[in-house]
Structure 1
Amino acid sequence: MRSCKLGPQFLSWLRWQTNFSIMDISANNISDLSFFNLSFNKISRSIPNLLLEFDYCPVIVLDLSINMFSEPLSFLCMKINNDLIYFDLSYNLLIGGIPDCWKKYKRLTAINLEKNNLSGVILNNKLIGIIPPWIGERLERLIVLHLRLNEFCGNAHLTLSCQQFLQVLDLSLNNISGDIPSCLNNLTAMAHFGSSMETISIMGIGIPWILVMGNTLRTNKFARVDKSESFKKHVEDSLDLSTNNLSGEIPKSMSELSFLSVLDLSNNNLSRKILSSTQLQSFNAISYSGNLRLCREPLSKFLKMSHQSCIRMAILKEAMKILGTLVINKSWRHKYFQSVNKLREWIRLRMALIVVKLQRKLGLKE
């Protein structure tokens, strides 16, 4: 179909063709190509350079997911599409490391590389080292950052400092340490008043695998909670900071999270009292469990009830031991009742002496 003047609109009937081996539609004056989706095919080997060139058509969405591409990602540095906003390479067989050429993609908002065979220093690929600073420096319009289940270390301050458009942040199950990043205050795009179970849409394309909007910093090694206004009104309705090394008191800014519906601060080293806030006091004691030096409601009430229950159980246990011994051992039972009789006689004698003394005193007064 070369030079057949098929343009300017792209061919809609191509979607129903399934047995292509060679297709030539060159020199057809095709324009307005912005969304290019080749997903759910069995295209193998290397990714054609054509897909990243598009000199005459500003392709902004390129979806190559669920294929069998098996080359390294180095091709991303050879041909640059400056108009590309969304790039999906997930569910392929890509190998090797992730190149450091993202600064050249000036408009890139989201890239999906999950379910490949990638390795090196950057989602379930056991990536190591610090979180690359270029994520915060170059990808200024990043919406989703999902780096869980890796082996990243260091702190996340530099990475997050400029991400004003970030809506989903997941750094859980890594080895990140230090303070809770104070730059969370910059993540203004996370503040919302709707449901937390929504599908994020990028350029009209829904991303159903992102379900929970908000901060997930679980199972890292943050040293303490920053006492600044980091959390104030910029955290989603779910905040999970459990199983870290957080210490110190709960910051005042957290008491002003009026839209927080789920809070988990369990299994840390937090101390002092839980601030007197209706919001913080409304959470179940389990949300604060595992912080031995944390006091006041609701934790102190929970611990007080548990302590009283333990005392009652201990008393009942000791009473059962004594009763069981008296029932089984005859000699002990005999000695017990002898002791009881002696105690009773001693009490009667003491009471009689007290009565006599009182009578004498009353007689003297008269």
Structure 2
Amino acid sequence: MCQKMNGRSKLEVLDVSINALSGELSDCWMHWPSLTHVSLGSNNLSGKIPNSTGSLVGLKALSLQNNSFYGEIPSSLENCKVLGLINLSDNKFSGIIPRWIFERTTLIIIHLRSNKFMGKISPQICQLSSLIVLDLADNSLSGSIPKCLNNISAMTARPIRGIWYDALEADYDYESYMESLVLDIKGRAAEYEGILRYVRMIDLSSNNLSGSIPIEISSLFGLQFLNLSRNHLMGRIPEKIGVMASLESLDLSRNHLSGEIPQSMSNLTFLDHLDLSFNNFSGRIPSSTQLQSLDPLSFFGNPELCGAPLTKNCTKDEETLGPTAVEENREIPEISWFYIGMGSGFIVGFWGVCGALFFKRAWRHAYFQFLYDMRDRAYVGIAIKLKWFHQKLRRYHAG
């Protein structure tokens, strides 16, 4: 690569990925100014990225994934003004992600997972309106998730058919070269090539992020895959998450999230992978065909969570009230209905008898005659009993 050539090199695409190349890269990239796509992934390469890569001013895609590169991303790469794809995943890069990456508005794919990057995610990333894949998973990033992610307009609407990205495809002669990307989606790795342009993904998992999930993230209506698992996030799931109609996979597991699962989540009809395990969620799991068909392990590790598909049952009262309040609430209706029944029974019985006697003269006479007869019979009975008792008493004294 360092040998001087007669005339200007016209090589545009260099793809030697998935081989057994080893050693360090030569610092001679200035001899290849026409390169637009460089793919050296899945080899045994090591060392640092040479500073001369910054001389590739027409570079649109740089793929160095799955090697043993280390050190920081060279500042010379900032000279690559039309860079649209940067894939440095599965290496040993360290330091802070350069600010210029978050300011390069031409970027559509940032894939830096499984490295040793640290520091915060700059809010400048919200300027990348064309970003379709953001994968910073498995690093040591800290701080909060930027609240302005709703400014990434490429994720706020569904992909448009026939859209063209120069960074993903290069035409030459009667053929074309197409970039590919291995993404961890729905718990498994899959290679995306021809349909990569239609993917909308954010993966910030396995970092040290804190704070809450920004409510602005609900505005990403075109987002298909969201993974914020294995961080230190707190608070609730945004209530309007149900408007993210394109969401197919959502992983919020192993955080410190709490509260109830929003009812709006039942509107996610495309959702076929969900993991909310090992948080502090409580209450009933919202009812929907999608949620109840998921594996119970998706909700495991939330002791206060109940309802299908979990085996722990719950009622609406138990969901909104504590156990003591539920017992008290059960006693109050029973006591209330007892007094209501007693009062209504008294009113019906009283007016049923007295009302009839008041309006019916014949019944009134018969009723009082009956009372007089009962009085006379009682009087006679008592008199006979008293006479019998006196006779017994005299015989006792006489004897």
Range into which the TM-score falls when normalised by the shorter chain: 0.5 to 0.7
Whether contact under 8 Å (1:164, 1:186) holds in the other structure is yes
Alpha-carbon deviations, 1:152-210, whole Å to 9, x = none? 465676545635432353525756565696726847449779xxxxxxx9224342533
Indicate the SS of the match to 1:147. Answer: coil
Q: CA 1:205–1:218 in structure 2 vs 1: closer, same or farther (change >3 Å)?
A: same
Larger Rg: 2
Q: Which amino acid aligns with 1:62?
A: V
Q: 1:207 aligns with which of 173, 180, 185?
A: 180
Whether contact under 8 Å (1:184, 1:230) holds in the other structure is no
**Residue 298 (str. 1) matches residue 308 (str. 2):** yes
**Residue 107 (str. 1) matches residue 107 (str. 2):** no
**Stretch moving more, 111-120 or 285-294:** 111-120
Q: CA 1:150–1:241 in structure 2 vs 1: closer, same or farther (change >3 Å)?
A: farther
Whether contact under 8 Å (2:126, 2:148) holds in the other structure is no
Counterpart in the other structure of 1:96: 71
Counterpart in the other structure of 1:26: 6
Counterpart in the other structure of 1:327: none
Counterpart in the other structure of 1:147: 113
Counterpart in the other structure of 2:15: 37
In 2, Cα distance between equivalents of 1:219 and 1:103: 31
Q: CA 1:287–1:108 in structure 2 vs 1: closer, same or farther (change >3 Å)?
A: same
Whether contact under 8 Å (1:146, 1:169) holds in the other structure is yes
**Residue 73 (str. 1) matches residue 49 (str. 2):** yes
Q: Which amino acid aligns with 1:147?
A: R
Whether contact under 8 Å (1:82, 1:104) holds in the other structure is yes
Whether contact under 8 Å (2:9, 2:31) holds in the other structure is no
Q: CA 1:182–1:289 in structure 2 vs 1: closer, same or farther (change >3 Å)?
A: farther
In 2, Cα distance between equivalents of 1:119 and 1:191: 34
Structure 1 position 258, deviation (Å): 1.2
Structure 1 position 102, deviation (Å): 4.5
Question: Identity of counterpart residues, as a percentage?
Answer: 26
In 1, Cα distance between equivalents of 2:126 and 2:245: 14
In 2, Cα distance between equivalents of 1:253 and 1:172: 30
Counterpart in the other structure of 1:331: none
Whether contact under 8 Å (1:222, 1:245) holds in the other structure is yes
Count of residues in Structure 1 that have an aligned counterpart in Structure 2: 261
In 1, Cα distance between equivalents of 2:43 and 2:138: 29
Structure 1 position 262, deviation (Å): 1.1
In 1, Cα distance between equivalents of 2:44 and 2:234: 43
Specify which structure has the higher proportion of strand: 2
Structure 1 position 240, deviation (Å): 1.4
Q: 1:167-206 counterparts in 2 under 5 A? A: 167=133, 169=135, 171-172=137-138, 174=140, 176=142, 178=144, 183=149, 186=152, 188-189=154-155, 202-203=168-169, 204-206=177-179
Counterpart in the other structure of 1:217: 228
Q: Which amino acid aligns with 2:79?
A: K
Indicate the SS of the match to 2:243. Answer: coil
Indicate the SS of the match to 2:298. Answer: helix
Whether contact under 8 Å (2:238, 2:262) holds in the other structure is yes
Whether contact under 8 Å (1:172, 1:219) holds in the other structure is no
Structure 1 position 218, deviation (Å): 1.7
CA RMSD of aligned residues (A): 4.1
Whether contact under 8 Å (2:105, 2:127) holds in the other structure is no
Length-normalised TM-score, structure 1: 0.56
In 2, Cα distance between equivalents of 1:273 and 1:218: 22
Stretches of structure 2 that go unaligned for 5 or more consecutive residues are 160-166, 170-176, 186-200, 202-224, 315-399
Q: 1:1-366 counterparts in 2 under 5 A? A: 25-27=5-7, 31=10, 33-39=11-17, 40=19, 42=21, 44-49=23-28, 51-52=29-30, 54-55=32-33, 57=34, 59-65=35-41, 70-73=46-49, 75-76=51-52, 79-90=54-65, 92=67, 94-122=69-97, 134-138=100-104, 140-148=106-114, 150=116, 152=118, 159=125, 162=128, 164-167=130-133, 169=135, 171-172=137-138, 174=140, 176=142, 178=144, 183=149, 186=152, 188-189=154-155, 202-203=168-169, 204-207=177-180, 209-210=182-183, 212=185, 214-227=225-238, 229=240, 232-233=243-244, 236-295=247-306, 297-298=307-308, 302-304=311-313
Indicate the SS of the match to 1:223. Answer: strand
Length-normalised TM-score, structure 2: 0.52
Whether contact under 8 Å (2:129, 2:151) holds in the other structure is no
Alpha-carbon deviations, 1:75-127, whole Å to 9, x = none? 157x43221111123455544222345443222122233454433334xxxxx
Indicate the SS of the match to 1:254. Answer: helix
Alpha-carbon deviations, 1:199-229, whole Å to 9, x = none? xx92243425335262222211111345264
Whether contact under 8 Å (2:90, 2:115) holds in the other structure is no
